[in-house]
Amino acid sequence: MRSTFIAAALLAIIIAPLTAHGQRSDYPTKSIRFIVPVTTGGPSDLVARLLAEKLSTAFGKQVIVDNRPGASNTVGAAMVAKAEPDGYTLLEAAANMATNPILMNDLPFDVVKDFTPISLTHLTPYVIVVSSQSPVKSVPELLKFIKDNQGKVNYGTTGVGSPQQLATLLFSQVAGGLGTMAEISYKGSSAAHPDLIANRISFMIDPLAAAGPHIKAGFLRGLAVTTSQRNPAFPDVPTAIEAGVAGYDFSSWGGVFAPAGTPRAVVQKLNKEIVAALGSQDLTKRFGDMGLIAKSSTPEEFAKFLQAEIERWGAVLKKKP
């Protein structure tokens, strides 16, 4: 009896890790929730929805996009940081992940310790836009308008540490200082667009993916893209450098994170399918049509990239007045 008990116990010990491994290999066995910490219509939301389609097909399980905007993307990110690390709650995050630790002292999570990087997903070119009703028709005219209307000019962002805020800060620094302007904060690009289109805010440096449809529809006027090269989807919009702001080069980024402690096998499986999706011809084209650039990475490359971004923006923000 004793030998039988010992044999059974040993067998249980051997089978347990094999079963656990098998469960990870079978991932996913249920639907996955994809948290997007911004409103609908922005790059993170659009990318998450396109990836959700691909991943749903690849996994045979539904990937549900759940928008949780607020507090410079920290509301949605905090939900993922506190979620069970089983691969069923993911975050499509943006560059705020690198800047919030610098700008906010009360973050409800640690960007490095509480998340597992899965893969970069895209780079986001931005565009300097005004309402089509605005008298401003070029970047030099915008700079003159700002300097001639000190205290009367406002601009849109999506909160503290948002790419829109950072892009405007960098724009002001590179342009030699723009004086006093009022920042109007919104929960997301789509929330800002009605005021921008109606010319209630003077200008905005917004993702090309978000502002692009309004530019094409004639509601917004694209003055310049923020990257060093023109965007193929908007070939008639010059770069800020071409428009006279030498040295101005800005783009944001996005990537997928899971809670810290997510099993390595799950991380690898997610990374494999995300990389495959981003490398597909149809998704690359859809990204390009929206003004985005598909960009994948290994989890290790993404972790190094995040650390480099934290250091980069730390240096820029030290110059903030």
Q: Is residue 54 pLDDT above 90, yes or no?
A: yes
Tens digits of residue pLDDT in 217-263: 999 999 999 999 999 889 999 999 999 999 999 988 999 999 999 99
Percentage of the chain beyond pLDDT 90 is 72
Contact 211, 220 (CB under 8 A): yes
3-state secondary structure of 188: coil
Residues 83-106: what's their mean pLDDT? 93
Residues 177-183: what's their mean pLDDT? 91
More confident residue, 200 or 95: 200
Round to whole Å and give the CA distance between 137 and 3.
87
Tokens of 138: 């070029």
Round to whole Å and give the CA distance between 116 and 153.
41
Domains of the chain and CATH, by start: 9-122+253-317 (3.40.190.150), 125-225 (3.40.190.10)
Q: What is the pLDDT of residue 172?
A: 92
Find how far residue 191's CA is from the centre of its chain: 17
Q: What is the pLDDT of residue 20?
A: 42
Q: What is the pLDDT of residue 69?
A: 92
Which range, of 7-16, 85-94, 123-132, 274-283, averages the lowest pLDDT?
7-16
Q: What is the pLDDT of residue 24?
A: 53
Q: What is the pLDDT of residue 321?
A: 62
Round to whole Å and give the CA distance between 206 and 2.
72
Tokens of 232: 């193929």
More confident residue, 223 or 210: 223
Residues 92-105: what's their mean pLDDT? 90
Average pLDDT, the chain: 90
Q: What is the pLDDT of residue 10?
A: 39
Helix 281-290 and helix 43-59, axial crossing angle in degrees, nearest 10: 170
Q: What is the pLDDT of residue 131?
A: 98
pTM of the model: 0.76
Residues 254-283: what's their mean pLDDT? 97
More confident residue, 106 or 35: 35
Find how far residue 270's CA is from the centre of its chain: 18
CA atoms within 13 A on the CB side of 252: 30
* H helix runs in the chain, sequence order: 2-25, 43-59, 74-81, 96-103, 139-148, 163-174, 189-197, 208-216, 264-279, 281-290, 299-317
Tens digits of residue pLDDT in 1-52: 544 444 444 344 444 444 444 445 699 999 999 999 988 887 889 999 999 9
